[in-house]
Amino acid sequence: MKYATLIVQTLGLAALSGSTLAGIADFETPREGFVGETFVDGGITFSSLNDVSGVNPDGSNFGPGEYGTQFIVENATLAMNDFPGVLTGVQALSWGNSFIAGDNLSINIMSSFHMSTGNVENFATLSLLLFENGPWGGINITLDATLGGVLVASDSFALSDLGGRDNLAGHSLTIDGINFDSLELSARYDDGTYTAFAGLADNVIITPTPGSLALLGAGSIFGMRRRRTC
């Protein structure tokens, strides 16, 4: 299981947010609530939420829009207290048909959505807090990068499949060193069929080159520690 710890420093976030060299979405600026079917934060456009058909973890089918088409900025204070290295700040990106106002939160189901800065980029990363085991075990969470509609790179992990009761865990996904102009985050089975997962996203960073992060990182933009556990 791949686990990531992402610590974003305030000064570094400000530097990135004000730079044309990078897009970073930390979801701290919008007020909590529904933010639309297309949503822009930190120069990154989020779109095409749940616009696919697929098979639920219980084997039933779902159609486009069934899990909702609205992005949600969720106050995730309680989750961040429990997972301080995965989610940062106060708010995170959610999706679907509902949210809970205030420090408590709902963790909603999602099948896929797209992200883009409108430019050709070379590096992307995001952190996820999501359920594993239980009904979610074995589902692949995938970040696909395309250029002109052609798949050029992917990163993915399989949700832990130990059975029993589901539990929350932190993960990250990264695309590095390949030019792309669009990203899709999705839940899929091994044969490519879309399915769904329940979680939140945070700290989405998209840049034209990994070097731009290093250059701006002279001011300690962020530190990331990745480790692999059983």
Q: Where are the domains of the chain?
A: 2-228
Alpha carbon distance 209, 207 (integer Å): 6
State what percent of residues in the chain have pLDDT above 70.
81
Instruction: Inform me whether the pLDDT recorded for 192 exceeds 90.
Output: yes
Burial 93-124 (b: 16+ CB within 10 A, else e): bbbbeebeeeeebebbbbbbbbbbbeeebbbb
Residue type at position 12: G
Mean per-residue pLDDT, 7-30: 59
pLDDT number for residue 211: 55
Whether the pTM exceeds 0.75: the reply is yes
Task: Tell me the CATH number for domain 2-228.
Answer: 2.60.120
pLDDT in tens, 1-17: 333 333 333 334 433 43
Is the pLDDT reported for residue 218 higher than 70? no
Q: Which pLDDT tens digit goes with each residue over 80-117? A: 888 988 999 899 999 999 888 888 888 999 999 999 99
Q: CA 138, CA 146: separation in Å to the nearest integer?
A: 25
